[in-house]
Amino acid sequence: MDNFFFPEEVPLVSSKPKTVSEEANKILDASFKTEALRDYLGASSLGDTCARRLQYQRLGILPDVPFSGTQQRIFELGHVLEAIMAHWLREAGFVLETVDPATQKPFEFEQASQGSHKNTVFWDGAGGQIRGHVDGILRDGPLDLKYPLLWEAKTMKASLWRDFVKHGCEISHPRVLFSSAEWVGSHYFVQVQIYMAYLGLESCLLTALNKDTAEIHHELILFHAQVASNASDRAVHILKALENNEMLPRIATKQDYFECKMCRFHKTCWEGE
């Protein structure tokens, strides 16, 4: 062993592991495509707490800061996990459609001038500027439910998942204020209400996966016509304001408000003020 040696020029361990990782991540991050800008209001975003932020998105204004590679990986992981969750349900005996049999594409809707539901009528004059894409529709299954019903998949970190399990979709996650006096529900709750309204469905099974533990919680959400109507009215209000070249009030009066500080349009919104 006394004669055994390693040449100094050949280290046992790389002297720059952090540099290699950083360089590799730069390459990975650069490979992500630039996020596509929408020319419509996404129904899934109508639960956003800030109407002005939705206006910027509808106008196709680029955010001050693009999504990071980490954020884009989180989004992509969510899509992958959604497909796995759908597989689990099918294996358990549920008849779940995640694509429209007529188009072989994900279920979607586009709001023209009028949409109807058994319990209410939405008149929004949106002219096709509101669109939504649905995770799936449950046609049948081993649970004693009224089929068909909407299926919505969510993945959450442990703390948000526990809050969802404890409080339910209607009050967990960021809540939305549609008027100066009334809180009407959470972001996810508003989203599924809009989907049910436009697809004419009476209920939704929301399946939430804890990304840290792989625990699953399912919540049956019934259709609430007033919530869907309020969200539809809000969307029209946003679009009409844009037609009149009007930017709606910010969510706060000071730019250091916590939600404003985290907003991707912070500089655009507060520039020069």
pLDDT in tens, 219-252: 999 999 988 888 888 888 898 999 999 999 998 9
Closest CA to 63 of 250, 268, 246, 257: 268
In a domain, 17, yes or no: no
Q: For residue 105, what is the domain's CATH number?
A: 3.90.320.10
Number of domains forming the structure of the chain: 1
In a domain, 128, yes or no: yes
Q: Give kind and range of the element (H or E) at residue 187.
A: helix 187-199
DSSP 191-209: HHHHHHHHHT-SEEEEEEE
pLDDT of residue 121: 36
For residues 153 and 73, what is the distance between their CA atoms, to the nearest angstrom?
17
For residues 92 and 55, what is the distance between their CA atoms, to the nearest angstrom?
42
In a domain, 22, yes or no: no
In a domain, 29, yes or no: no
Give the domain range for residue 165. 39-270
pLDDT of residue 113: 40
DSSP 158-169: HHHHHHHHHH-T
Strand partners, 203: 222
pLDDT of residue 180: 36
pLDDT of residue 1: 52
User: What 3-state class would DSSP assign to 233?
Assistant: helix
Strand partners, 114: 123
In a domain, 190, yes or no: yes
pLDDT above 60 (res 69):
yes
For residues 174 and 49, what is the distance between their CA atoms, to the nearest angstrom?
8
Mean pLDDT calculated for residue range 98-109:
84
Structure-token match 């409080």, residue found: 167
pLDDT of residue 185: 53
Tabulate helix, strand, coil % of the chain (nearest 5): 35, 20, 40
At 111-164, the pLDDT tens digits run 544 444 443 334 344 556 788 889 999 999 999 999 999 999 999 999 989 999
Closest CA to 26 of 68, 56, 63: 68
In a domain, 7, yes or no: no
In a domain, 150, yes or no: yes
244 vs 107, which has greater pLDDT?
Answer: 244
Question: How many alpha carbons lie under 13 Å from residue 180 in its C-beta half-sphere?
Answer: 1
pLDDT of residue 218: 98
Highest mean pLDDT, choosing among 9-23, 54-68, 84-98: 84-98
Structure-token match 């009149």, residue found: 244
| Residues whose CB is less than 8 angstroms from the CB of residue 3 and which lie 6 or more positions away in sequence, other chains included | none
* Reported confidence tier of residue 177, pLDDT bands at 50, 70, 90: very low
In a domain, 193, yes or no: yes
* Reported confidence tier of residue 170, pLDDT bands at 50, 70, 90: confident
What the block records as the tokens of 48 is: 């956003």
